[in-house]
Structures are given as C-alpha cells and as structure tokens.
Structure 1
Amino acid sequence: MRTRKLAAATGTILAVCASLLAVAPTARAADPAGFHVRDGRLLDAGGKDFVMRGVNHAHTWYPARTDQALKDIKAKGANTVRVVLSTGDQWTRNGAADVAHVVAECKENRLICVLEAHDTTGYGEAGAAVPLGKAVDYWLGVKDALVGQEKYVIVNIGNEPYGNTNHSAWTGDTKTAIARLRAGGLDHTLMVDAPNWGQDWSFTMRDNAAGVFAADPDANTVFDIHMYGVYDTAAEVRDYLSRFVNAKLPIVVGEFGDMHSDGNPDEDAIMATAQSLGIGYLGWSWSGNGGGVEYLDLVQGFDASRPTAWGQRLFDGANGIRATAREASVFSGTGGDTTAPTAPGAPAVSDVTASGLRLSWPAATDDTAVTGYDVVRLDGGRETQVATSATTTATVTGLAAETTYTFAVYARDAAGNRSPRSATVTATTARGSGTAACAVEYRLSDWGSSFNAEVVIRNRSAQPIDGWELVFAFPGTQRITSVWNARATQEGSTVRAVHESWTRTIPAGGSVSFGLSGSSAGGNGVPAAFTLNGGTCSRS
C-alpha cells in the first residue's frame, strides 16, 4: 500500500502495447548459501522450492505490536511475513539494532522475514517519497543486521518505488540499486517492487524484468507485484502472473486485498492462480490500517481472536494460507527431507471432449510420502500449470476444440521437493458443435508502412461472455504502436488482446470492438485466424 493511510492510486489504466518478456538468463552455476533463484523458482537454503504464504505487518508504525503479531501470524499458519521498515526519510528510522531484533523474532517464530523500505512509496508522485537510492543507503547502513541472515531474510529494496508519473525510470533505477547492494556486500535474495503504486498497469516491470534480472550479478532477484483495483478479473490476474512463470522469472504477489478504493480486486482469482502456478502471496495487512481502508485489516485491533472477513478469507478460505503454506526447510534442522519423489509414470488420456479431457498416471514414490501432483501443458519450451491433484487423476478444462495439446506431470512431497517431469502425452480435443461461438471482423486501413484496424468480436452464443482474450497472428512484419478499448501485447507476430473494464462483457448475440494502429516494413494484411478464450472464431 502507499502509506499508513493507504490512499488510492490516481490515474486510469492505460491501453499499453508491449512485447512479451524475453527469456530469462541462466542463473550462475554456484548457488549461494541462503535463498536463491534457480530456473525461475525461489529456493530456500535447503535447496527446496519455497512458496511464500503470509501477510504484511506495519512494524515501523506499530513496533510495540511486532513481537506478539509475529507469534499470532505464525499461529495462523503463515510461513512468511513482510515487515514494513522506514529509512527515516518519512517516518522514524528503524536502525540496525531494531532490524536485528525483528529478524530474531522472525526466526524464533519460524517465519521467513521479507524486509521492505517503505519511504520510496509513490516516488515522483507522492511529495515526501524518496528515490530507490535512498533505500540502498538505508540497507547498507543496517548491513550489520543483515549479513549472515541470508537463510532467513529477503531484502525488498523499496516499496512501490514509483507512482503513476515518470515510471519509465524504474528500470534503470532498479538496475542501479541492485548493483550498489551487490557491490556493498549484500548477497541476499533481493525483491523489487513494480512501479505505478506497485500495480504495474504500464507493464514497465513486466516488459523489463528479464533485463533487470540479467543485471543482477548473483542472478538472485525476485519480482513483486501488488494486486488491487487493476486486477479485478481472473483473466488479468492469470495473464500477468503467467507471463513471468512462462519466462522463468520469479514473481510474488507481495500485497493484495479483498477490496480497495481504486477498484475491487479479485482475491479469489489471485489466490487460486498463485496456488496453481506455485507462486507466493502476502496479504495486506495484519492490523492498524487507517484513512478509510480499515477494511484491509486481517484482524481487529491486533487481536488474533477477532479476524475480519478478509482475515477469515485469507487464512482459512479456499487456497488460503492455512491450507497451502509450507514452512521453509531451514527451520526443519539438519537431516531434513531432501529427497525428491520419483517421476510419475507416463500419463494417459481419456474422456476427451471438445473443451476438456481426463489424465491419469502411475503414482510416483517417495521416501516419506507424495502429497500432490502438478499437471503442466507444454508449448514449445514453456510450461503452464493447468491442474493440481492429490490423486493420480486430473481433469483439464477450458481447451479449444480440434486442437492438439501436450501434457506432463510432476510429483511433490510435504517438504516441497519436486520430482523430475514425467513423460509427455499428446491429445487432440474433439470437434465442436460445428458453428463457431464467435466471429471476428478485422477492418483494415492499409497505408503501406503503417495501418489502422478496427476489430469487431461478435458473440454468437446464447450466453454473455464475461471477460475475453483474443489471440491472432499478423501475416507480415506488423508491429503494434497503440491500442484503444483493449490492452494488447505482441510476441513475434502473435498478438494477445485483453478487454478493458468497459469492453469486458460481450452480450449474447452482441458485439464489442477495439482498435489498433501499427507500422510495417512490408505491407499489411488480415490475420488468417482468431481464437477467443481458446476457442476458434469464424471470420466475418
């Protein structure tokens, strides 16, 4: 959140066109002794996959509450706490002795400690906010409290380090901050927040994350997105997070709530998507919110026995903390479970329909016990998790008719060890009803080296479409330069357009339209095919 009073972000969500993330660079050969990143995953000091499940606590404003709060947060099932600290530029500085005490309390309660400097919040728009360079000065100033704690502490350089203005400077400033911290002797996993008050509606972090990761000589940086009103649909949540996962860039949802003054975030989708993709989330916040956003308190008056509706949802609801958190292996002592399960047997396909299928596979084995399986869809070198199961079967839905897919399975044990991938299986979905449920008209205005296009999507079904993604490929070298009434990204020739809030619903029998403009080095043409939410549309 912005500050203790948590004011709402200003400005509207812009229609931004950007290229997809580049493939992340390969991590260095030798892993550090503490937390580290490998193949896009955050691993703890024991080399185990670590998925954050926890909350934020405003230590800098409520230091007398911290010791009890950490005990209560752990009792609720969390494995991580993100602790708000101050550099001294906006609030009372948390010095090295105070930071050391917080770290000791986290360790005492078997919690991983994500420490964040809050004074950067909304820099460039919030008048009192300071640049990332000030946060770097702070971390180097409390270095004595951090060195040697790499197994237990993640350094979140600066909270929401740009508002909605001048956010393009985020990339260079973040690279510089990482370089200074590494040169100053901090070998911890670093966490970097997105600009735009943490919500990255401009996609600045998303589209520059690979370059920022490559700038870390330790290859040990995690990206932090804050999901509030910008992320009010499941499609938006999954699209944003999946792009990082597919690019093998580590990401965590470092803040989110069940409502907010800038819109209504889809907390169910955030938690479900994080669970399905195996990424962390940290709810905002334990207690003490003010300025009209008291509804974001997880408990009333720092009293763990008085959870709010938001607290009950986060801790005890579907995909909640109590059901999904796993403690970091560093707290299990020496000699803990370090053996991964064997690979599951080759999956088999049954019950194929036009939109789904059933997979089954021989069980994996483990020296303790297999606790679950992750089903992934393979697309070239990318993996997308599409289902989880506690048994040796899973149903995959939401597929397109007459389309070929490839799947594989991983096994997990209670310690977080993940097996090698199973053999793959390929299947083709059945033919649909014969009449496409959607039709697309692409109205091209071609000027040779540039073009405009109006894209009309018609819903031919008897049910409204609530939320959509249209995918198509340009036939030549066209590159998008602007979009209106939708948001779009382009990778190579492939374009993915997602609705805006005002074009989200396509009525039964109705239509919506969006426009785009672009450039081309070799003329322009009409895309040959369109898919809407995975289903093939006819052209009209």
Structure 2
Amino acid sequence: MRPRTTRRAAASGALLGLLLPLSGLGQAAQAAPEDATGLHVSGGRLLEGNGNDFVMRGVNHAHTWYTGELDSLAHIKAKGANTVRVVLSSGDRWTRNDASDVANVVSECKANRLICVLEVHDTTGYGEQSGAASLDRAADYWISVKSALEGQEDYIVVNIGNEPHGNSGYQSWADDTRGAIRKLRDAGFDHALMVDAPNWGQDWSFTMRDNAGSVFAADPDRNTVFSVHMYGVFDTAAEVRDYLGRFVDAGLPILVGEFGHDHSDGNPDEDAILATTEQLGLGYLGWSWSGNGGGVEYLDMVEGFDPDAMTSWGERLFNGANGIAATAKEATVYGGSGGPGDTTAPTRPGAPAASGVTSTGVALSWAASSDDTGVTGYDVVRVDGASETAVRSVAGTSAQITGLTAGTSYTFAVYARDAAGNRSERSATVNVTTSRGGDPAPGSCSVAYRIVGQWQGGFQGEVTVRNTGSSAIGGWTLGWRFADGQTITNMWGGTPSQSGASVTVKPASYTANIPAGGSVTIGFTGTWNGGNTAPDAFTLDGAACTAP
C-alpha cells in the first residue's frame, strides 16, 4: 500500500485519458431558513420542498463529451436510479455547454423523473492540472447559464465544480469554495449547492472534512451539500465509515459523488461504500454510465451506451446488495412513494434501551417502527422537561451517543420518519447516568501493535486495544512513543496528535466505547527513515497496558 499523499486522480479526471497524479469538522450544521423552497438542507439532511428526506441513488453521465447520448437518462431511470449527475463544460477545457443545452438537459431529467446534479468539469485538478479552471471561473459559468436554472430548484442541484483542486494548492480549497458560494448567492441562486472535495475529490488531506463546518456556515442559505469521491484512498471499510461518520456526527450533509469498483490508484471497497451509505442513509452516485477511456474503461456500467450490455460493475451497482434497484426512491416531486399526499405517520418506535454506558457516551437501541410507505430513519432527542434537543439522526434502530459529561443524568427518546417526512409520536424515554470516569486500573488493558505493510519511507500500522477489566472504558486516550522517529500521516478509527516521538490518540465515535472483554482497532499510515521498530510500551488514560 502506498502513502495517501501519492494517490492519483479520480476516474472523472481520467475519462478522456487524463490519468493525473493525485482536525475537527468545525461548526455543526444549522437549519435552513424557514422559507426554504425546493431541494434544501435541514438538520444535516437533503430534503425536498415538501420536507421529504431525499437520498440520492444514481450514476454519473458524461454529457459534455457525448451530447448525442441523452437517451441514456431514460435508460438510467429504467434501471431504478432516482438521480443523475451530468458532466458539463464551462468552455475552458472542452466545448462549452450553453444555456440552451443546459435547459435541454434539465428538461430531459424532468421528463425521466430524475433529480439532476449539474457539475462543471473544467475545474478538475485545479492547481495541478494544466488549463484547469478555478471555482471562481466556474461560478461565472453558472451565472452565465442562470436562465436555464431559474425556477428549477425542486429538480436540480448545482455542483459548482468537479474535484476543484489536485494535490497542489489544495490548502486554498476552503477560501475558494466559500468565495464561489457567496458569488452564486449574491447572483440570486436559491438552489441547493454541492461542493466537491480537493485532492482529486478524495480529500486524503482531510481539508474538506476539517473545514466543512465553516464552509457550510458561510452559505447564507445554509444550503450546501458536501461530496467526496471514493477511489483508491478508500480501500478499507474502516476508512469509509470513519470519513462519512464524522460528517453525520457533526450534522453536516455528505454524499459519495463518485466511486467505482476498481481504479488505477488502488482498489476501493465498493461493498463498504454501498453498505455504509445505506446504513447512514446517505446518497451515492457511481462513476459512470458509459464512455470511459484512457485505460479505465472497466468503469463503464454499460458497454457503448447500450442498456442491454451491462458490465459486471453495472450489475453490482444496480442489482447487487445495497444497490440502486433495491434502495432508490423516486423524488416525491415526481409523485414517488411517500409523496405529498401521504399524511400517515409511522407507528411509535419502541422505548430505547441503553447499554455500554461510559463517562462520555452510551449505546441506544430500540424496536423498529412501521409505515405504509416505509420508515426512512430515526431521530434521537434529549428530553429536558418540556424541551427537546436533537442529538442525531440514523437510518437504523441503534445509535452511539458520544460527547456526554461524566456523572450526569440524561433522558433520551426516539422519533421515526417516513419517506414523506411524516414523524411518529415520540417513544417512551430512557434515563441514563454516565459513569464518573477515572483511569482504568493498571493492567486492565492490553495493546497489540503490528505493521500491516511497509514500503520505502512509508508503512501502514494497526493498533488493537483490549479492555481486560470488568467495566466499560469510554472516552479514552491512548499513548505511545516511537523509537525511530516515525511520523503518522493519516489515521482511521481515531484522531492522532504527535509531538516528536510521543503519540496520543483520541477515539472516533464508533471506537469510543470499549466494553469489558472487548476491543477496538485503529489503523494508520506513517513515514519512517532508517528504522521502523514497534513501540514497546502503551498507556490508556495514563495507565500502563500489558502486551496481549
């Protein structure tokens, strides 16, 4: 495995043979204005104008290079998609799609009952790719075709620019993105906006992840969705869960705007991407329907734009587990299931049960609700007398609650939501008192360290922490020292801090609780020079851990 800093360009940059090289989320999402119309963000979710929770399930279509293949939209719809992401050009690198052509694309999307994500592709790899356009330039393009977009807020999302920075100059991503958003809002755009991650869309530097809160807050409409592209950087389930889970925990809207089953920069874990997005109720858009070149033809879902010549990748995405056919729901603006006429609320979910209580968190689970059009998710709330505070929204019947105060009593309850946005009655409540915390007793933990793989100057490591005590450990801090000056460059399952040879790790939300007799595993990549000796001593909350 290579270090993340050497990952290469995502598939969209390679379509025509352009195979190019490749802490904290900030403020939580705020509610959209009460007068929001059309597709809009609220509570970290993308909603339709009627309040229906809309989850994108679809594919990318390379329109700007294949303008004669608009029939593909009907074929994509026929296979079950509810969304299509359409490639356009501002004219900076390819033939410009003018307002008339954009209006025709929107019309075809609507005729085929698809939500349409429109993106400018000329920004791909800006700062590294010769001739790539800036986000500011992309904003000018959108303003120039505004006549084709006005009044279409129920049907389209404006994806400002594809993979807007490569692996050079990506540090300006947040400022550039904020500037483009403000420019479009000042020009009168009321649409939901989508912004792509830097690093050829894969955000290995976590620049989008760590600045998403401030970028969202800079949108006066609070109507921006974040899009990450998952290729070789996301080759393990842990990396997929960690990245997406951090956005969900922060209440910020995220989807996978591109991904594939294989790529020149590594083998992405498509099964994990599909399973995790389904579990979290997040959208995904696979790359791409047809027309790939430059050695990535294997990313075609059908051969030669023929809907009857589906490839193995197309079969996996459309008809496999957690695929489009099984999970996509048509937008209610087209009269899809759970449309505006549905006023029946889901049944009341069961009272939550608490387990794994620690000083900073608790695991909640509850009996499922039912609904005539299907339950789409659950909202966990904290109850304080007559008031409620939203805690988090989940797709399934369990949630890990973190960030609690030690030795404090809390009351939680759950609501169910259906596809039309109807909400159930509140469940019965559960009372939880967090433990007072304290360091684990010496010898109540063991740590196993191993090197998964090593290459010149770099390596991948793994640390498994086991709780050998009789009570759960939560909100932990793990510490060790490197003997040979190794440096951590990326981590999943935790957040590292390093000062010289000393390393401390705080857990991710899904590794925060270590039950008695249980264990958690964190992984990381790092650099080494001269030696790569394993650490010989570890501490957990300051107490020494034994070897396994």
Q: TM-score range by the shorter chain?
A: 0.7 to 0.9
Identity of aligned residues (%): 57
In structure 1, the partner of 2:348 is 343
Give the letter aligned to residue 499 of structure 1. G
1:185 to partner: Cα distance: 1.0
SS at structure 1 position matched to 2:54: coil
Are 1:439 and 2:450 matched, yes or no?
no
C-alpha distance in 1 between matches for 2:536 and 2:226: 31
Deviations 1:368-391 (A, max 9, x none): 45446659799x975374x737xx
The correspondence for 1:31, drawn from 17, 31, 35, is 35
SS at structure 2 position matched to 1:170: helix
1:24 to partner: Cα distance: 1.9
1:473 to partner: Cα distance: 2.8
The correspondence for 1:83, drawn from 70, 83, 86, is 86
Give the letter aligned to residue 187 of structure 2. G
In structure 2, the partner of 1:221 is 224
Give the letter aligned to residue 16 of structure 2. K
Query: Is the contact between residue 120 and residue 129 of structure 1 (CA under 8 Å) also seen in structure 2?
Result: yes
In structure 1, the partner of 2:523 is 499
Query: Is the contact between residue 29 and residue 250 of structure 2 (CA under 8 Å) also seen in structure 1?
Result: no
Question: In structure 2, do the counterparts of structure 1 residues 424 and 58 end up closer, same or farther at CA, with 3 Å as the change threshold?
Answer: farther
In structure 1, the partner of 2:406 is none
C-alpha distance in 1 between matches for 2:164 and 2:376: 38
1:483 to partner: Cα distance: 4.2
Query: Is the contact between residue 27 and residue 37 of structure 1 (CA under 8 Å) also seen in structure 2?
Result: yes
C-alpha distance in 2 between matches for 1:257 and 1:196: 17
The correspondence for 1:321, drawn from 314, 319, 324, is 324
SS at structure 2 position matched to 1:116: strand
Q: Which sections of structure 2, spanning at least 5 residues, go unmatched?
A: 1-11, 383-388, 401-408, 434-442, 450-460, 468-473, 480-485, 498-503, 509-521, 528-532
Give the letter aligned to residue 56 of structure 2. M
Query: Is the contact between residue 352 and residue 364 of structure 2 (CA under 8 Å) also seen in structure 1?
Result: no
C-alpha distance in 2 between matches for 1:42 and 1:326: 14
C-alpha distance in 2 between matches for 1:201 and 1:421: 40
User: Alignment RMSD, CA only?
Assistant: 4.0
Q: TM-score, normalised by structure 2?
A: 0.74
Are 1:270 and 2:273 matched, yes or no?
yes
SS at structure 2 position matched to 1:200: coil
Deviations 1:111-162 (A, max 9, x none): 0000000000000111021111110110000000001000001000000000
1:472 to partner: Cα distance: 3.8
In structure 2, the partner of 1:73 is 76
The correspondence for 1:164, drawn from 159, 164, 167, is 167
The correspondence for 1:489, drawn from 495, 498, 511, is 495
In structure 2, the partner of 1:528 is 541
Q: Which sections of structure 1, spanning at least 5 residues, go unmatched?
A: 12-18, 397-403, 429-434, 442-454, 462-469, 476-481, 504-510, 516-524, 531-535
1:456 to partner: Cα distance: 9.1
- Which residues of 2 match residues 405-420 of structure 1 at below 5 A? 409-415=414-420, 417-419=422-424
Question: In structure 2, do the counterparts of structure 1 residues 199 and 413 end up closer, same or farther at CA, with 3 Å as the change threshold?
Answer: same
C-alpha distance in 1 between matches for 2:465 and 2:29: 42
Are 1:245 and 2:248 matched, yes or no?
yes
The correspondence for 1:150, drawn from 150, 153, 161, is 153
C-alpha distance in 2 between matches for 1:185 and 1:281: 28
The correspondence for 1:383, drawn from 384, 392, 411, is 392
What is the number of residues matched between the two proteins?
A: 463
In structure 2, the partner of 1:447 is none
Give the letter aligned to residue 181 of structure 1. L
SS at structure 1 position matched to 2:68: helix
SS at structure 2 position matched to 1:63: coil
Question: In structure 2, do the counterparts of structure 1 residues 242 and 421 end up closer, same or farther at CA, with 3 Å as the change threshold?
Answer: farther
Give the letter aligned to residue 204 of structure 1. T
In structure 2, the partner of 1:479 is none
C-alpha distance in 1 between matches for 2:83 and 2:137: 26
Query: Is the contact between residue 174 and residue 208 of structure 2 (CA under 8 Å) also seen in structure 1?
Result: yes
Query: Is the contact between residue 160 and residue 193 of structure 1 (CA under 8 Å) also seen in structure 2?
Result: yes
C-alpha distance in 2 between matches for 1:34 and 1:214: 20
In structure 2, the partner of 1:432 is none
C-alpha distance in 2 between matches for 1:513 and 1:337: 59
